[in-house]
């Protein structure tokens, strides 16, 4: 499905952010990234929160149910490593929090995976310094 990420057109699938929607559509894989959001009047998916997990995409999404009042839909992707999931989350965070200004529920920069000193992949980022 083609989704307008608030003025940018991308290919992604979004699903209802409900226990049933998560059970039916979210990946069961352990490592991945996800975006939570709502639909604008024109049908655009507005991302309100970005995240990553290494202990189960479906499980993590379920943990978020009820925490974000405006969230009605989610998107998610499998990642092949903790480092890649971290880097994708950083990219998503800067994109949706900084450039788009929509990721209102992300209060702080994504944390590095425990025990690592991976830099943020986004150029000129100083939020982890």
Positions that interact with Zn ion (CB under 5 A) = 90, 120, 122, 125, 127
Task: Give the Cα separation of 57 and 23 in Å (integer).
Answer: 10
Indicate the residue among 100 and 125 with the shorter CB distance to Zn ion. 125
Q: How far is the CB of 90 from Zn ion (least distance, A)?
A: 5
Indicate the residue among 22 and 90 with the shorter CB distance to Zn ion. 90
Sequential DSSP letters for 22-33: HHHHS---SSEE
Residue 33 has which token pair? 């990234």
Q: How far is the CB of 122 from Zn ion (least distance, A)?
A: 5
Q: Do the Cβ atoms of 22 and 74 come closer than 8 Å?
A: yes
Q: How far is the CB of 41 from Zn ion (least distance, A)?
A: 31
Indicate the residue among 29 and 127 with the shorter CB distance to Zn ion. 127
Q: How far is the CB of 129 from Zn ion (least distance, A)?
A: 10
* Residues in Cβ contact with 18 at an 8 Å cutoff, skipping those fewer than 6 apart: 65
E strands along the chain, which residues? 2-4, 9-11, 15-16, 32-39, 45-53, 73-78
Indicate the residue among 84 and 125 with the shorter CB distance to Zn ion. 125
| Burial of 55 per CB tally in 10 Å (0-12, 13-18, 19+) | exposed
């Amino acid at each position: 499905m083609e989704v307008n990420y608030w003025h940018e057109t991308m290919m992604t699938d979004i699903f209802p952010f409900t226990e049933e929607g998560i059970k039916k559509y979210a990946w069961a894989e352990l490592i991945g990234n996800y975006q939570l959001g709502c639909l604008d009047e024109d049908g655009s998916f507005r991302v309100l929160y970005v995240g990553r997990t290494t202990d189960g995409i479906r499980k993590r999404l379920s943990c978020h149910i009820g925490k974000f009042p405006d969230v009605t839909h989610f998107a998610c992707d499998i990642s092949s490593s903790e480092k890649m999931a971290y880097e994708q989350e950083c990219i998503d965070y800067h994109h949706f929090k900084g450039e788009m200004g929509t990721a209102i529920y992300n209060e702080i920069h994504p944390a590095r995976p425990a025990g690592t000193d991976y830099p943020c992949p986004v150029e000129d980022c100083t939020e982890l310094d």
